[in-house]
Structure 1
Amino acid sequence: MTEFIPPGTRWFALPSPFPFKRGGTLLGARVAYETWGALSAARDNAILVLTGLSPDAHAASNADNPAPGWWEWMIGPGKPIDTERWFVVCVNPLGSCKGSTGAASPDPATGQPYRLDFPDLSIEDIADAAAATVRGLGIERLACVVGNSMGGMTGLSLLARHPGIARDHVNICGAARALPFSIAVRSLQREAIRLDPAWDNGQYDDAHYPESGMRIARKLGVITYRSALEWHGRFGRVRLDSDRRDDDDPFGLEFEVESYLEGHARRFVRRYDPNCYLYLSRSMDWFDIGESCGHAGDTHRGLAAIRGLSRALVIGVNTDILFPIEQQEEIAEGLRAAGCAVEFQPMPSPQGHDAFLVDAERFGPALRVFLSSAGSFPDGMTP
């Protein structure tokens, strides 16, 4: 059981006990975060970045950790999220193994990792932990909350559960509820982990780690993170050279795309805790903003119940199969019904769900224009 904490990580101690939506509490829990830029004297220039399932809080290089972050091209001086103007906070989700308290963290009652004794985690718990961190930093109202993928879910939950906590919102490839296809994929990922004998009902250690299960889970995820268009364009039906094939394995790797998935998976498996993966994955399946807002089964009413938000930029990708673009359209329509001025931007990116990580030419200008305005949309953008 290992936590993977990048250099320069800071921590905020959550209120103790910290209650969970579905029952149970944590004692002595904490949230990992990093910051960029300077908080203004009025404390009105803060942007909160909420991540997907696997990233840590190191979204960009900073004085405490000069290594490039996972959103390096987006955050920094003169970049779309300009740290010469904005004070940026990125939090690692509660339940993760990247610094925030999760199933791999020590239970103060036993000194041993929580494992499956960790409480049932929901997106709402992740949102509440992020809200506590923001307020603990002395920020009562964010200028903007930016959420990607699972972070888009968390952002909506944050806005619903903490009315007025942010003036503006950017939701990128997010969702107001989990759909059957994404639930099915994540269910298979969790099954691959749980059926690996080394998982041992969550009792594995570094010497006996469910590597096969995690490899398969990661491969399934990566397949859905990109689009069929990109897979075809990058790999086609190109076969591996003979010196890269195992002739003793009649069903071994044969195509370049198989080798890519294998390499990607192997880089991931020993850098993420399987139990944390299970908890965070299930939290997404459970999420429905309608249920979260007391309107079970009615996503539109749940979104329309959000209060205190002035503007929103909602971005979807035409080739996203994991969080399809109709889900971002649903968010935009619901936030408009809440009285928010909303700009919806469908991106014609070939990269699928993960486009926001790599398509700087499209996503960078969209955020730069939105964040450059104050109180209204600039020319060329209509609410």
Structure 2
Amino acid sequence: MSDARQYFKLPSPFAMKRGGALHGAHVAYETWGSLNAARDNAVLLLTGLSPSAHAAANDADPSPGWWEGMLGPGKAIDTRRWFVICMNSLGSDKGSTCPASIDPATGEAYRLSFPDLSLEDVANAAHALVAELGIAQLASLIGCSMGGMSTLAYMLLHPGSVRTHISVDTAPQAQPFAIAIRSLQREAIRLDPHWNNGQYDNAQYPDIGMSIARKLGVITYRSAMEWNGRFARIRLDPEQREEQPFGLEFQVESYLQGHAQRFVRTFDPNSYLYLSRASDWFDIAEYGNGSVLEGLKRIQIEQALVIGVSTDILFPLEQQEQIAEGLRAAGAEVEFVALDSPQGHDAFLVDIDNYSRAIGGFLARIQ
């Protein structure tokens, strides 16, 4: 398969918000559509914790992307009109410099010597990429989940660089429930003996810790309504059950196990730890003297679409309302969409029809 992934070398040294700097670092990205002569039709998409920059199929890589139903010719994010860029977060192992990358100073992987990562660093890397592409102002900036927090940082740190914003299932700061879940995920990885203070390899790899972390994540990405509807209390057939004491017995357990097995070796554990903690640290109130509303009021854009889901327990609907209220107070024309999708936080990846209607409608109205 051909690779659509491109790489942008970040300015070196690339200073990090919480101290330290990266040398010779880069971020991976992909693009769709064409930049027009006025260079004013660019849309930047920032992702959640685990996706790559491959949001949709393109000429160089026809394989389906993580937001395939949303992005492409004639779709909600119509690549016949928009030049779309999707960047893999700094710190992610899907092509960008991360803890698994080689530290040029030592010739060995950074591991835990990687500087503390913040979502502001992700935002600054994205802004540097956009500037390198010759784009002074984005037509729209879209952020999903963790990427939504990164986009808030982007707009705060680089005023005037964005005309419109689409906020998808995100938060202006992590709430205690989200922090608690991510803390447990990190603990599961750190307590796996094979994690070995970040010094694992393919032979001694924290499979169990990563598996538990993924299961915890999947539980919070969907809603109780979804779990009840899909699995109820259905038990596995006897031949599917595990023989050992307390082994898998219910279908929902088997589902989580399958999800975990598919994920475990596809994401670097140290990168997972760094991005997870960066999500906990992000707090827009830092920019508003302790007030989320005052922090949001510093964002200067023309229009915004804020989408949330009533069944999202990780990024609850009241946090989307908070973002909408703050952007309105800042002077933006804000459209707020509350969906009742049963899929919880993952709805933006699953309920493509409803999200397409909101996002496609909003982008169509941009002059």
Give the TM-score band, short-chain normalised. over 0.9
The code of the aligned residue for 2:107 comes to G
1:22 aligns with 2:18: yes
1:121 aligns with 2:117: yes
The code of the aligned residue for 2:125 comes to A
Within a 5 Å distance, the mapping from 1:69-218 to structure 2 comes to 69-218=65-214
CA deviation after TM superposition for structure 1 residue 125, in Å: 0.4
The code of the aligned residue for 1:318 comes to S
Deviation sequence 1:127-178 (CA, Å, 0-9, x none): 0001001111111100000000001100100000000111000000010001
CA distance in 1, matches of 2:10, 2:66: 25
Question: Normalized against structure 2, the TM-score is what?
Answer: 0.99
1:36 aligns with 2:32: yes
Identity of aligned residues (%): 64
Q: Which residue of structure 2 lines up, in the alignment, with residue 325 of structure 1?
A: 317
Counterparts in 2 of 1:15 and 1:189: CA distance versus 1, 3 Å: same
The code of the aligned residue for 2:73 comes to P
1:239 aligns with 2:232: no
CA deviation after TM superposition for structure 1 residue 8, in Å: 2.1
Cα pair 1:92 1:98 within 8 Å, conserved: yes
The code of the aligned residue for 1:138 comes to G
What do you get for the CA RMSD once the two structures are aligned? 1.0
Q: Which residue of structure 2 lines up, in the alignment, with residue 299 of structure 1?
A: 292
Deviation sequence 1:158-217 (CA, Å, 0-9, x none): 000000111000000010001000000000000000000000000001111100000000
Deviation sequence 1:319-355 (CA, Å, 0-9, x none): 0000000000000000011111101100010000010
Cα pair 1:6 1:98 within 8 Å, conserved: no
CA deviation after TM superposition for structure 1 residue 6, in Å: 8.9
Q: Which residue of structure 2 lines up, in the alignment, with residue 259 of structure 1?
A: 254
Cα pair 2:146 2:279 within 8 Å, conserved: yes
CA distance in 1, matches of 2:120, 2:289: 15
CA distance in 1, matches of 2:178, 2:359: 26
The code of the aligned residue for 2:363 comes to L
CA deviation after TM superposition for structure 1 residue 297, in Å: 2.2
CA deviation after TM superposition for structure 1 residue 64, in Å: 1.1
CA distance in 2, matches of 1:77, 1:130: 24
CA distance in 2, matches of 1:281, 1:372: 34
CA distance in 1, matches of 2:148, 2:366: 22
Within a 5 Å distance, the mapping from 1:268-347 to structure 2 comes to 268-291=263-286, 293=287, 295-307=288-300, 309-347=301-339
CA distance in 2, matches of 1:84, 1:361: 20
Q: Which residue of structure 1 lines up, in the alignment, with residue 47 of structure 2?
A: 51
CA deviation after TM superposition for structure 1 residue 374, in Å: 2.4
Q: Which residue of structure 2 lines up, in the alignment, with residue 378 of structure 1?
A: none
CA deviation after TM superposition for structure 1 residue 7, in Å: 2.7
SS at match of 2:266: coil
Q: Which residue of structure 1 lines up, in the alignment, with residue 359 of structure 2?
A: 367
CA distance in 1, matches of 2:284, 2:132: 25
CA distance in 2, matches of 1:342, 1:117: 42
Cα pair 2:2 2:60 within 8 Å, conserved: no
Structure 1: give runs of 5+ residues left out of the alignment. 376-383
Counterparts in 2 of 1:119 and 1:374: CA distance versus 1, 3 Å: same
CA distance in 1, matches of 2:35, 2:90: 24
CA distance in 2, matches of 1:39, 1:75: 16
CA distance in 1, matches of 2:366, 2:31: 22
CA deviation after TM superposition for structure 1 residue 14, in Å: 0.4
CA distance in 2, matches of 1:97, 1:80: 28
CA distance in 1, matches of 2:3, 2:259: 23
Q: Which residue of structure 1 lines up, in the alignment, with residue 62 of structure 2?
A: 66
CA distance in 1, matches of 2:298, 2:270: 34
CA deviation after TM superposition for structure 1 residue 312, in Å: 0.2
Counterparts in 2 of 1:6 and 1:15: CA distance versus 1, 3 Å: farther
CA distance in 1, matches of 2:2, 2:42: 23
Structure 2: give runs of 5+ residues left out of the alignment. none
CA distance in 1, matches of 2:299, 2:320: 16
